[in-house]
Structure 1
Amino acid sequence: MTDAYAFSYPSPLEGYEKLEPLTDERAEDGKSLKNPQHGVLSKAYTEFPDPLSKGREGGFDVHIYHFQNNPDQAAYARALWERIRREFPELRIYTFFDRPVGPHPVAMFEVNLFTPAQFGAFVPWLVINRGPLSALIHPNTVESEDERNHTQRATWLGDRIPLDLTIFRPRKE
């Protein structure tokens, strides 16, 4: 696993520094806090924030894994792949691999998400329907950050599967 502290992070409050302090006033439910309302939704509802890709590769990849030597798991994964292709035809869905490929140490298939709406529809659906399978959800930013995107910025559904990160490191001559 990559050391998360090896990276720099801009302040989450960048652009909000000079605003009035927030209150601790409670909402009607008595538990949550009242937030200042300004009548404008965050742009994150309609477009991925920078530096996420808005190009050909999409903002997020979802890799759904199955152990190729487990016939029951492979059959479940193939059925899930077919269901996703039928229910989400607008998504880019790649070949069903029956062997490891790239940094992925077991078989998998990949789905690309291009908009926050696709992410918001597909990821909750996958949480419920992935069955015994693990899934890696990672952002796509610049190629030089592939290792970070697959580790520090990644999210897992189910058990984490160790990736072969050497593919992202320059070869030593």
Structure 2
Amino acid sequence: MPDQYSYSYPSPLEGYENLDPLSEERNEDGKSLKNPQTGTLSKAYEEFPDPLAKDRRGGFDIHIYHFQNNPDQVTFAKALHERIRREFPELRIYRFFDKPVGPHPVAMFEVNLFTPAQFGAFIPWLVINRGPLSALVHPNTTEAADDEERDHTQRATWLGERIPLDLRIFKLMKEAEKKEEAGKL
């Protein structure tokens, strides 16, 4: 995995600078803090924040893995794939791969999420229903093309056990892009 400290990060308080300090007053439960109510929900309830993609790729990809040589996992994964297609027909659900593809070292299928509402409905559902399978949840950002590796690593999160990705494919893609650009000059 790339070094997370090799990336730069904007301040989490960008756009909230120079405001009055927040109160340390607690709610009735004695643990949680009272937050100032503005009467306005975050825009993130309606659309993914920048730099998440809002195009045909969708804001998030979910890769649901199964070990292709484990018949029990294959059976479970096929059933889960069918259930997702039936329960979430509005999502883009790719075919069931029976072997590794791209940076994914074991078989998987992919689901794309396009809105915060889809994310909010599907991810909790998947947490409960994924059974023994692992899932990679990663954003699709609109930043530089070479951020695809970052999207699959530093910005990603896992449900279940982490499966090491074959990151060489991203280096090969970068090399191919450089050769293509050099050929255009």
TM-score range, shorter chain: over 0.9
Q: Separation in 2 of the partners of 1:96 and 1:28? A: 49
| Deviations, residues 55-86 of structure 1 (Å, cap 9, x unaligned) | 00000000000000001100100000000000
Correspondent of 1:171 among 170, 175, 179: 175
If the length of structure 1 is used for normalisation, what is the TM-score?
0.98
| Deviations, residues 91-133 of structure 1 (Å, cap 9, x unaligned) | 0000100000000000000000000000000000000000000
Q: Could you tell me which residue of structure 2 aligns to residue 161 of structure 1?
A: 163
4+ residue stretches of structure 1 with deviation over 4 A? none
Matches within 5 A, 1:131-142: 131-142=131-142
Report the 3-state secondary structure (helix = DSSP H, G, I; strand = E; otherwise coil) of the residue aligned with 1:110.
strand
Q: Could you tell me which residue of structure 2 aligns to residue 59 of structure 1?
A: 59
- One-letter code of the match for 1:97? F
Correspondent of 1:152 among 154, 170, 175: 154
Q: Separation in 1 of the partners of 2:31 and 2:72? A: 45
Q: Separation in 1 of the partners of 2:77 and 2:97? A: 10
- One-letter code of the match for 1:78? K
Matches within 5 A, 1:94-113: 94-113=94-113
How far is 1:144 from its partner?
2.0
| Deviations, residues 113-164 of structure 1 (Å, cap 9, x unaligned) | 0000000000000000000000000000133200000000000000000001
How far is 1:18 from its partner?
1.2
More helix by share: 2
Q: Could you tell me which residue of structure 1 aligns to residue 115 of structure 2?
A: 115
Q: Separation in 2 of the partners of 1:138 and 1:36? A: 31
Q: Which moved more, 1:163-172 or 1:25-34?
A: 163-172
Q: Separation in 2 of the partners of 1:157 and 1:38? A: 33
Question: Pairwise CA RMSD of aligned residues?
Answer: 1.1
Q: Could you tell me which residue of structure 1 aligns to residue 36 of structure 2?
A: 36
* Number of equivalences: 173
Q: Separation in 2 of the partners of 1:37 and 1:107? A: 46
Q: Percent identity?
A: 78
Q: Could you tell me which residue of structure 2 aligns to residue 69 of structure 1?
A: 69
Q: Separation in 2 of the partners of 1:161 and 1:27? A: 40
Report the 3-state secondary structure (helix = DSSP H, G, I; strand = E; otherwise coil) of the residue aligned with 2:147.
helix
Q: Could you tell me which residue of structure 1 aligns to residue 16 of structure 2?
A: 16
Q: Separation in 1 of the partners of 2:2 and 2:91? A: 30
- One-letter code of the match for 2:52? L
Report the 3-state secondary structure (helix = DSSP H, G, I; strand = E; otherwise coil) of the residue aligned with 1:171.
helix
If the length of structure 2 is used for normalisation, what is the TM-score?
0.91
